[in-house]
Every structure is written in C-alpha cells, then in structure tokens.
Chains A and B, each alone.
Chain A
C-alpha cells in the first residue's frame, strides 16, 4: 500500500486491476500460503509463519519463495495448514519445528514431506494436493476459495484476483435498477437465516421515500459454534466492502454500517484496515471513480448479545439504545436506522453480490435448487472427523455434507442427529439424512437454515440434554421483553432440567409441546418464534428418549448424571488401580490385582474412572 495514487476513474481502476492480475500471473517465486484466521492463530499459525520466515532466511531462499499470510481456508481440523504453489502441495498440522524441513526439503530439493500430508481418516491414504482431499472435493467454494489466495490486509492483492472489477462494471454501465434486476434474477436470498429475496429487499428500500438511506452489514454472528461470517470478514474483507458499495449504489445509500461483534478482534482489525485502504485508494468516500457517487462505511461494535442479530434490535443497538427488537411493520426498509429507510444484509449475502455482478445472474442461478440459489457456507462442528467451514451448493443432502465432506463420525461411532441453524434450529435424525439442504426443506423438517451452524451428534449424545443446552442459551439470550419468550424459554428449561435429573412427571412432554407452540406463536421476533425448535424437533424425532427419561428414569446415551451409574464389571477388572488413582472422591477401593469396588454413595459420576480404564471394566447403566 505504499505510494499508491488515488484512483480517480473507472479506466484507472480497470488498469490497476489488470496490472495486478498480470503481476500475480508473472510471479516467479513459490508461494507458501499459511492460513492465519482466528482459528489458525489459535492453533499456532503465527509461530509457524515466524519460523518459516526464519528458515527461508537461513537457507537463502528469499528470491525463490514468499510467505503469504491469509485468512481461514476452512479446514480447521488441519490447522495450521500450508499450501505451496505452484507445486500444489498441501501440508497440514504444521508445527514451527517443521519449518526448516519445509524450506530445505520441499522448496530447495523439491521433496514432499510425507508426515505433513493429510491422510484420509477412512482409507488411511495420504493426499498431496488440496483438491484431492475429500473435504474439499464436494464443496463449491465460490466465496471461501478466495480466502486462500489473498492477503486480507492488502487491497492490491484483492485487485489481483479481479477484485473491485464488479464495482467498475456497475459504475460504468449499469443503472441502479439494472443492478437490482440482476440480483433479483439471480435468486439470491438473505443468508442471515430468514431467506428473504435480496433483490426485493433492495427494491423496497430504494423505492421508499426518505433521505438519507442507510445500508447495514450484519456481522453479529452469535450462534454457538458458527463462524462463517467471521471467516469472510477476516479472510476477504474487501469483497464485503465491494458488495456494500454495489448495494449502496443500487439502493441510493451514502452511508453504511458494519455491525460486528467485539469478540471478533481480528475481523474488526481486518475490516478496519480494508476500509482505510479503500478510502486511500478512492474506492470509498466522495465522488467515487469520478461518478458522483459518495459512500462511507462505519464500524459499529456489538457487545455480544445474541438478540442483536435481529435486525430491529441491531438498529437500536447502533443508535445507542438497548438492543431490544421492536414491532415490524414498519420494516427497516421504511423506518430503519435513525427512522430512515435502511437495508440490512448479512456478511455472506453482501459477499455474494460482486460475484453475481461479475459472472451474471444466470451463472449464480444455475447453482442450487429451484427455490434456493447459490452456495451456502456451513460451519461443520461437533462429532465429525473434518471439522471446518464448508461451502456447498444449495440442495446438497445432509448425508453428503456429513459423510463425504465431513468424513463421518470419529471413532467409528453411530450418527445420531444433526442440529442445523444455530441454537434456535432443530435436531434432525438419521431418517432425514437424505434431506436436501435448502430453506424450505429444512423448515418443513422442523429446523431452519439459520445462518449456517451445523452440529453433528453421535450415539453418545442425549437429545434431552441437547435440548437443555440450547434452552439454557436461549433463556440467557432472550431480550426478556415478551413474556412468551422470556418465561417460555425459562419454563421449558426448568421442565427439561427436571427431566434430566430424574424428576420428570407424566404430562411433561405434552406441557413442553404446548408451551413451545405458545412461545413460537406469541413472541415478537425471530428469537422467540424459533426458540421452540430445539424442543419441538427433539420431541418429534426422539420422543422415546424423553419417555425413557421420565418413565424409567434412565438416560439411554449415558449422559444425564442423575440417571446413570458407573459399575465395575468384575470379570473384566484386572485390579490395575488405574481407576482408583484418578477418582477424585476416593470412591473406588481395592488392591493391586484384586477386583476393585465402587462405592456408589461417594460417586459423583464424573466419569474419570470410565476414561481411565483400559480393560472396559467400567460400564454406564
């Protein structure tokens, strides 16, 4: 970003993009791409980068190779990972101590280091190329793919993959109406959860009388275990800005806000850098590219309230008020921020915009199903081999995501359920694995698309306990305004807690259902209206499990502490003292080579003995 002149016209921008693309293509050095998003950094990628740079210096390879620090590549399980181009090698779980080997063997002598290669958890074969890894094979990474190509803190790197080309195209020959028509034709729907057609939303805001108009980027990602938006903001912030620029032009807004949670410091940092670089380059500010179009972006940091992801609560929060949703209508398109027409879209939605402009509405609408177009990023977490961010075409089945991309369940355990759509989504069982992932199918099955959380659960998961976990989250995060949501989630949590503690009564399931339906019906905003999903879907698909908890006072999955007992199987016990040593309560007594005895009155069911036993001599009943 040194000595960069302001770009004053579309021609100059096109020239700059062209020269950056050429510079990328004529690059003679090998490039070592290290992923360093929040997840990568947490697994030590910064240390790896440092030692790689050192190793390159020591081996005098500075004119042969370049280290590039990028955002998240999506494959969290393999972090920190390194891609080497043009050799096309993918190294995973790289440690700082591997740096010398990489520099000496791979870069200098062109040798592949086998121990750093990815090996398939099922076949056990090692894979050299990124694209041959099953995790990546079935994905369609139109958004996430670029994360691995660019340094998010350098606007020029974004230009070198054709970035801001869509903005140039829009400003040179498209009217706002053309842009809106293109987005409408593409069939893009909001990625924040509700799935409202984006083009239509833009049109409403554009047509509403009232000046000034605002646009907002919703980056208040609050679902536990979901981090799609963070990864996009960290890894490719300029694409979000370009999307917002195009949206502002189409809608007629001059100011935009990015509402991002303060718990995402790296995302805040990268988007701040991106904004200041774009301002320096003249892509944000007054009279952009000499076209008389002004646009400014502000960052508004949220304090981590889940409910502030709801658009009216988000607006209240930007205005400095308490983040509480209000009645719609009037919709934000009519009365939004500072009571002016406002358009809110999610990070992923904004990121899709430049791609649609660049490649055309037809290209986009060819991906996906009839009602749901394009791709969707999911964060695939829980009991799954390949944890990470996956970007798949809409309409892909859950089975493909879990078993082909995700690599199945670890330790050969059985799949039990998948929870989609964050805390207010539903749990879908084995029978629903062939369900195509799109807005309508998921809703029909009792879950939601949400913003893209996917939590996989195995046979050792208790569904009542899962419902309890999500209700606990919701009773905490409900804003508390509506009686139905505040008391509904609280009372549902109380009843479910009773059930998991063996205090369940006859009629509890029916009461839960009635309360869940009332909570869904009577609440004002999306949080309350979907808060019933964890209860309704687990009762719908796992009713027997609830019944066993209530009637037999047993937890089939062996999770609910009050309903289980640890027993020593005499035949298997070798008297090794392993369990005795780890028991924090001294509940196990015995001598070496004699069968141990567990005193139930002292046992706190922590499970330490179960973990410690190597002879399967302890069972849960």
Chain B
C-alpha cells in the first residue's frame, strides 16, 4: 500500500494503481475520454491531466497512465489543469464538432468558442477503437499509421483487413462517430445545448430496431424521421 495526497485528502492505494483509479475509488472526478476500464490506458487525449508535485516544480501528467506513488501530491482541478483541459477540448471540438461526447465535455467545462479552423475530420485519434479491436475483440485489424499531423487510424495498406470480422466494436466505442450532436453551428463549432437533455430525441426506435442497438440515442433516425414526415406533409 502506498499513501498519497489527492486534493489535500490523504488516500491509500494499491501498488500499481494509477492516479485515476485511486481518484475514482475515492469518488473524486477526473474527466476522461480515451480511457476505458476494459482497455489498457493510453494517455492520448490528455483530458485526465492532473497537477503533481509541490512548490515551483509542479507538472501536469495524465492520471490514467501515471502510477500512484508514495508521498505523491496530486491536485485534480487547479487553474493550470483546467486551462490545459479546456484547450484540449477546444482542439478536439475543432476536429469533431459533431461528437456529442465532446460537445458535452465542452458544455461541462465552459468551452464557449473554437478559435481554430474547423476541420470536421471526426477522428480525434484517441485510439479507443484500436485497443478495443486488439484487446477485447482479439482482432488487431486496425492500427495507427504515420506520425505527426499525418497520423491516422486504418487497416494495413488501407485495404480491408482479413482480421476484421465486422463486429462493429470500433464503432461502438468511438466517441466521435457513435453519438452524434446535431447542434453545432458552423461558425462557432460549439453547441452548448443539450448536456442535460436526455434523450436527445423525443421519439426513437427501440433497441432491437436500431442497427446500432443504440435505442436511437444517437438521434440520427429521429432527424431522418422528421425529414421524412416533413417531406410527406409537403406532398
């Protein structure tokens, strides 16, 4: 057992636990995105940043990968943490403004503007799908390619992989392509509307009818239905 301090609270942790796991156990909330309990930690989205250390020599680390060490002093929501976190959300939003997960994070952390050119690339390279495929589905059909700004997720040689069984695990876990937000306006890329509005739609197909087994939470079908009705009434 190791003893450390999170937000001035003395906590105990098992050897080998990460800061995030300890904080969760004690009910201290740290936002995450590329983290999933069923998958190995990755540390790519930099949302779970916490500030460690004391005095002038503190630094930010990703709590999902940093081990809980004896005597560590951790703060989960200092000004420095919040500012970096907001910037991460703003960067993600500029890539995938149609992701409800990210729009909700933006609402929650008060990100009110996107100052970068919106790229609508959808993928934020959080790597959840890659780990899902390899670790839970034993597939290893997709992986990262290239580096830097050219980094992307794809299959080897960009052709359909024999390893892929079309299980849909990657789509299921994707924070950008599964839950859609229809709200962002083109100028600001932020929606800031429906954080607490659940479900996003008032009418949806039930679980069995939805091809994503999503019970219509994504809202796509609702919009399509509405458009159908609209078209019908036009007739």
Q: Nearest Cβ distance between residue A259 and chain B, in whole angstroms?
A: 18
Q: Give chain A residues whose Cβ lies under 8 Å from the Cβ of B65.
A: 326-327
Q: Check if B221 is an interface residue, CB within 8 A of chain A.
A: no
| Per-residue interface assignment for chain A, residues 466 to 481, with 1 indicating a CB less than 8 Å from any chain B CB and 0 otherwise | 0000000011111111
What mask results when residues 450 to 491 of chain A are scored 1 for a CB within 8 Å of chain B, else 0?
Answer: 000000000000000000000000111111111110111111
A482 contacts which chain B residues (CB < 8 A)? 43-44, 46
Indicate whether B146 reaches chain A with its CB closer than 8 angstroms. yes
Contact present for A480 and B116 (CB under 8 Å): no
Bound form: Cα–Cα A480–B126 in Å: 10
Q: Could you tell me the distance between the alpha carbons of A330 and B69 in the complex, rounded to whole angstroms?
A: 11
Give A478 to B149 CA distance when docked, in angstroms. Answer: 8
Residues 46-83 of B at the A interface (beta carbon under 8 Å)? 46, 49, 59-62, 65-67, 69, 80, 83
Complex interface: chain B residues within 8 A of A307 (CB): 147
B30 at the interface (CB under 8 A from A): no
Q: Counting CB contacts under 8 A, is A514 at the interface?
A: yes
Interface segment out of the listed B85-93, B168-176, B206-214: B85-93
Residue of A nearest to B66 (CB): A327
* Contact of A322 with B by CB under 8 A: yes
| Residues of chain B lying within 8 A (CB to CB) of residue A477 | 147-148
Determine the distance from Cα of A511 to Cα of B116 in the docked complex, in whole angstroms.
Answer: 9
Q: Residues of B contacting A495 with CB < 8 Å?
A: 116
Contact A489 B147 (CB under 8 A): no
Check if B218 is an interface residue, CB within 8 A of chain A: no
Q: Are A475 and B46 in contact (CB under 8 A)?
A: no
Please determine whether B88 and A518 come into contact, CB atoms closer than 8 angstroms.
yes
Q: Which residue of A lies closest to B146 (CB)?
A: A480
Q: Which residues of A contact B148 (CB under 8 A)?
A: 474-480, 486, 489-490
Contacts of B94 in A (CB 8 A): 487, 491
Whether A480 pairs with B151 at a CB distance below 8 angstroms is yes
Report which of B42, B88, B151 forms a contact with A522, defined as CB distance below 8 A.
Answer: B88
Using CB atoms, name the residue of chain B closest to A305: B147
Check A483–B149 contact: CB distance below 8 A: no
Closest chain A residue to B152 by CB distance? A480
Of all chain A residues, the one with the shortest Cβ separation from B65 is A327
Question: How distant is B160 from chain A, measured CB to nearest CB, in Å?
Answer: 22
Indicate if the CB atoms of A524 and B124 lie closer than 8 Å: no
Do A484 and B125 touch across chains, with their CB atoms under 8 A apart?
A: no
CB of A483 within 8 A of CB of B66, answer: no
A479 to B92, CA, bound (A): 17
Select which of A322, A483, A488, A517 is within 8 A of B144 by beta carbon.
A322
| 8 Å CB contact of B91 from A330, A479, A491, A521 | A491
CA of A490 to CA of B126, assembled, Å: 17
B124 pairs with A483, CB closer than 8 A: yes
CB distance from A496 to the nearest CB of B (A): 13
Report whether A483 and B45 are in contact in the complex, using a CB–CB cutoff of 8 Å: yes
A518 to B80, CA, bound (A): 9
Contact A523/B147 with A484-B84, A488-B91, A491-B116 known, Cβ cut-off 8 Å: no
Residues of A within 8 A of B80 (CB): 521
Chain A residue total in the interface (Cβ 8 A): 36
Q: Are B84 and A521 in contact (CB under 8 A)?
A: yes
The residues of A that contact B126 with a CB separation of less than 8 Å are 483
Contacts of B147 in A (CB 8 A): 305, 307, 476-480
Residues of B contacting A483 in the complex (Cβ-Cβ under 8 angstroms): 44-46, 88, 91-92, 124-126
Bound together, the chains give a CA A322 to CA B151 distance in angstroms of: 13
Q: A307-B147, A480-B149, A487-B91 are in contact. Are A522 and B124 (CB under 8 A)?
A: no
A515-533 vs B: 1/0 string, CB under 8 Å? Answer: 1011001111000000000
* Distance between Cα atoms of A507 and B95 in the complex (Å): 21
Chain A min CB distance to B2 (Å): 12
Given A479-B148, A480-B125, A490-B149, A522 and B84 contact (CB-CB distance below 8 Å): yes
CA–CA, A330 to B18, complex, Å?
A: 12
Task: Give chain A nearest CB distance to B87 CB in angstroms.
Answer: 4
With a cutoff of 8 Å between Cβ atoms, the chain A residues found around residue B127 in the complex are 481
What's the Cα separation between A517 and B151 when bound, in Å?
Answer: 23
Assembly CA distance A478 to B146 (angstroms): 10
Query: Does A412 sit within 8 A of B, measured CB to CB?
Result: no
Closest to B151 in A: A480
Report the Cα distance A329→B69, complex, angstroms.
9
Say whether A522 contacts B49, CB under 8 Å: yes
Instruction: Please give, as numbers and ranges, the residues of chain B lying within 8 Å of A480 by CB-CB distance.
Output: 125, 144, 146-151
Distance between A516 CB and nearest chain B CB, rounded to angstroms: 10
Q: Closest approach, in angstroms, between the C-beta of A286 and any C-beta of chain B?
A: 38
Return the chain A residue nearest B49 by Cβ.
Answer: A522
Complex: chain A residue closest to B60, CB-CB: A521
Asked if A362 is an interface residue, CB under 8 A from chain B, the answer is: no
Determine if B117 is an interface residue (Cβ-Cβ < 8 Å).
yes
Q: Residue among A480, A483, A514 with the most chain B CB within 10 A?
A: A483
Q: Which of B80, B115, B117, B124 has the most CB of A within 10 A?
A: B115
Task: Tell me if A207 counts as interface (CB < 8 A to partner B).
Answer: no
Q: How far is the CB of B60 from chain A (nearest CB, A)?
A: 5
Mark interface residues in A570-596 (1 if CB within 8 Å of B CB, else 0): 000000000000000000000000000
Closest Cβ–Cβ distance, residue B228 to chain A (whole Å)? 38
Provide the bound-state CA to CA distance between A523 and B80, in Å.
13
Q: A312-335: which have CB < 8 Å to B?
A: 322, 326-327, 329-330
Whether A132 sits at the interface, judged by CB under 8 Å, is: no
A521 CA to B92 CA, complexed, in Å: 17
**Cβ contact within 8 Å between A515 and B87:** yes
Task: Decide if A599 is an interface residue (CB 8 Å cutoff).
Answer: no
For A484, give its contact among B46, B69, B83, B124 (CB under 8 Å). Answer: B46
The answer to whether B116 and A494 have CB atoms under 8 Å apart is yes
How far apart are the CA atoms of A330 and B62 in the complex, in Å?
A: 14
CB distance from B106 to the nearest CB of A (A): 14
Chain A min CB distance to B170 (Å):
18
Give every chain A residue within 8 A of B84 (Cβ-Cβ).
484, 517-518, 521-522
10 contacts between A and B (CB under 8 A): A322-B144, A476-B150, A478-B148, A480-B144, A480-B148, A481-B42, A481-B44, A484-B87, A486-B151, A522-B49
Q: A476-B147, A478-B147 are in contact. List 9 more A-B contacts (CB 8 A).
A: A322-B144, A479-B147, A481-B42, A483-B92, A487-B91, A491-B116, A511-B115, A521-B84, A524-B62
